[in-house]
């Protein structure tokens, strides 16, 4: 199906991806169409190993090689200069290319079997919650003709995106690869896109990763007036108010929390709550990716 230009959803260790042949412009357009993704938001291309990644880049620096050796397969996406084999539509017209080798046996076997790079954003409608179970894909994108079911995603949050196209390199999106591990290999890393270069991080629109319910963040969820309609609580250390209906509890550590965050929000959406009161996650770098996703899920479209 992938060779024929169809889309196929597949599991990775981060979230489920909606894959298509990255070398086919028509196949890649199907991804944008199905997701309703703005054409300005570029896609990550998945490859089976570092050599396949290098072959798609126009420049493969020592830095790229060192990071690939250290973290691939794994939840790190590297943005490098784009080579000619990948059409511009994949990168929303940018001269760059985002690459990753996923650490999931099904994804790796698929990439090896199909023998083509696969463009694969998260398998959800644009701005909605990312899927961490095959079931989430089936419910969110019923028109996808094939979903490979690899069970629940181990990490549950999107990859960390680093641009190697700037000097020094920049973190474009915090994600599943902890920053302290990345920093140990890349001490010169700067946080956030280059000031005044908005096109460098197009996916970072304020509203993203959002459930249907309205999200309210508070350090003291029990004290919040949630307003009308059914209410859910997403808690970590605090107690719900007395008589609270729907309560989801997440682990206290950032990795455990991230792993179940989207699944918990999907469950709350399923339960039909109108508002979710979320206990604010802690400060500090270890919680940066979780704070980023919750912040985007909270912001309203302008």
91 binds, among ligand AMP, Mg ion, none (CB under 5 to 8 A by kind): ligand AMP
Contact call for residue 201 and Mg ion (CB under 5 A): no
134 in Cβ contact with 153 (< 8 Å): no
C-alpha to C-alpha distance for 288 and 299, rounded to whole angstroms = 17
Tell which one of 24, 122, 163, 201 touches Mg ion (CB under 5 A): 122
Judged by CB, which is closer to Mg ion: 24, or 130?
130
CA distances from residue 109 to 15, 17, 47, 155, 238 in whole angstroms, order as listed: 17, 14, 11, 19, 43
Pick the piece of the chain touching ligand AMP (CB under 6 A) from 107-115, 194-202, 236-244, 255-263. Answer: 194-202
Give the residue closest to ligand AMP by C-beta.
203
Judged by CB, which is closer to Mg ion: 63, or 136?
136
* Alpha-carbon torsion (73, 115, 80, 196), positive or negative: negative
Q: How far is the CB of 192 from ligand AMP (least distance, A)?
A: 12
Per-position DSSP letters for 59-115, written without gaps between them: ---HHHHHHHHHH-SSSEEEEEEB-TTS-GGGGTT-SEEEEE----HHHHHHHHHH-
C-alpha to C-alpha distance for 75 and 233, rounded to whole angstroms = 29
Judged by CB, which is closer to ligand AMP: 23, or 41?
41
Pick the piece of the chain touching ligand AMP (CB under 6 A) from 195-203, 215-223, 241-249, 278-286. Answer: 195-203
Q: Is 156 left (phi over 0), alpha (psi -120 to 50) or beta?
A: left
Judged by CB, which is closer to Mg ion: 236, or 296?
296
Which residues within the stretch 130-149 sit at the binding site for ligand AMP (CB under 6 A)? none
Q: Which residues bind Mg ion (CB under 5 A)?
A: 122
Q: Which residues bind ligand AMP (CB under 6 A)?
A: 41-44, 79, 91, 94, 96-98, 121-122, 158, 161, 172-173, 200-204
């Amino acid at each position: 199906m992938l060779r024929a230009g169809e889309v196929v959803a597949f599991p990775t260790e981060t979230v489920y991806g909606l894959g298509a042949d990255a070398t086919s412009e028509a196949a890649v357009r199907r991804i944008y169409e199905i997701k309703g993704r703005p054409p300005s938001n570029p896609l990550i291309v998945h490859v089976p190993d570092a050599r396949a990644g290098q072959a798609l880049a126009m420049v493969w620096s020592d830095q790229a090689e060192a990071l690939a050796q250290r973290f691939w397969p794994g939840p790190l996406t590297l943005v490098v200069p784009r080579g000619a084999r990948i059409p511009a539509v994949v990168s929303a017209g940018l001269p760059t290319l985002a690459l990753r080798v996923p650490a999931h046996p099904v994804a790796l076997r698929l990439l090896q079997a199909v023998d083509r790079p696969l463009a694969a954003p998260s398998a959800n409608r644009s701005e909605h919650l990312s899927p961490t179970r095959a079931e989430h894909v089936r419910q969110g994108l019923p028109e996808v003709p094939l979903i490979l079911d690899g069970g629940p995603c181990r990490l549950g949050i999107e990859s960390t995106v680093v641009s190697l196209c700037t000097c020094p390199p920049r973190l474009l999106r915090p994600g599943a690869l902890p920053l302290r591990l990345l920093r140990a290999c890349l001490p010169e890393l700067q946080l956030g896109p280059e000031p005044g270069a908005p096109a460098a991080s197009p996916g970072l629109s304020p509203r993203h990763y959002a459930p249907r319910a309205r999200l309210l963040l508070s350090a003291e969820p029990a004290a919040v007036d949630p307003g009308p309609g059914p209410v859910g609580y997403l808690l970590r250390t605090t107690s719900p108010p007395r008589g609270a209906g729907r309560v989801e509890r997440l682990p206290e550590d950032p990795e455990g929390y991230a792993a179940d965050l989207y699944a918990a929000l999907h469950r709350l959406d399923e339960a039909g709550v109108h508002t979710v009161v979320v206990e604010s996650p802690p400060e500090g770098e270890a919680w940066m990716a979780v704070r980023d996703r919750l912040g985007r899920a909270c912001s309203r479209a302008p």
